Amino acid sequence: MSNKYPLGASPEEQDRLQRQDRALGGIEPLLPYIFSGQQILEIGCGPGLLTEQIAKKIEPGKVIGSDIQFQHVKAAQSRTQMAQIESANFIVADGSYLPFQKHQFDLVYCRLLLVWVTEPLRVVKEMARVVRPGGAVYADEIDWGIRLTYPPANAIERVNDATAKLWEMSGGHPYLGRQLANIFRSAGLEKIKLECKPRLSYGNTLRTDGIWNVGRWNKLLAQGLIDTETYTNAQRDEQSLLENPDSFTLSLNFSAVGYIPQ
């Protein structure tokens, strides 16, 4: 089984992930579940922006950020070292095989990770394994099948459809959001709470939210999932949307929290 992240860990992708984190509300959705002194694990930490925010909130507790990409872990370590944050550590690890004994953490969470892994249920079971009785597992995942762009942009919609195909070819699950509660229940979690929140990028925020990824478009073109005409038209549509102060994109994110039986 391979959980390799298909978008890589280039500086451009790290920047996109940071913009994406801000668009998703940063630490705010996790605030009801984090407290001072906790031991927390993040799966798929990327360049560590969210991990850093968590670390500041839980001192004197500790948060460990894990990622399968060494480049992300290195960037996250540099970030927290420069900020002199001592309550965060980072490791390279696959969420399907966590290098921890059971019952080590008060909270284990991930954000936009399960949609990329080959076996989401296996990862959630691993997350649950390392959480103490009474502790929580939290995940925030997109559902790629629920999207709206205004004004309509036909070429971008074709790119979005091709993106879902690339996602599935890479072993991912672009429509996982709607399945999140079922996955948690199948992992043995209890008291599951499911929420659905719109993600709206409007006008000028389209530039900063990391909605489009030209690097991904290049992959689609290289693999024959879109043709040159679609690629060119999508670039035109993108520019038109960015210049229109009334344009927006709307998608849905599902989040779930579940607890380990006492």
pLDDT digits (tens, 9 = 90+) for 33-69: 999 999 999 999 988 889 999 999 999 999 999 999 9
The pLDDT of residue 2 is 47
Other residues' Cβ atoms within 10 Å of the Cβ of residue 113: 24
Euclidean distance between CA atoms 49 and 27, whole angstroms: 9
How do residues 134-144 score in pLDDT, each as one tens digit? 999 999 999 99
Strand ranges of the sheet holding 105-111, from the earlier edge strand across to the other edge: 88-92, 62-67, 39-43, 105-111, 131-150, 248-259, 190-202
R_g of the chain computed on alpha carbons: 18
pLDDT of residue 11: 67
User: Which domains, from first to last, does the chain contain?
Assistant: 11-259 (3.40.50.150)
Encode pLDDT of 226-251 as tens digits. Answer: 999 999 999 899 889 888 989 998 98
User: CB-based contacts of 214: which residues, under 8 Å, 6+ apart?
Assistant: none
Q: What is the pLDDT of residue 73?
A: 94
Nearest to 128 by CA among 112, 148, 114, 108: 108
Residue 83's pLDDT is 86
Mean pLDDT by 10 residues, the chain (262 residues): 56 63 74 96 92 93 95 90 91 96 97 94 98 98 91 92 90 95 98 93 66 74 94 91 90 95 92
Task: Give the model's pLDDT for residue 134.
Answer: 97
pTM of the model: 0.88
User: 5-33: buried (b, 16+ CB within 10 Å) or exposed (e) per residue?
Assistant: bebebeeebbebbbbbbebbeebebbeeb
Name the nearest CA neighbour of 257 among 180, 200, 197, 186.
Answer: 180
pLDDT score for 67: 94
The pLDDT of residue 1: 37
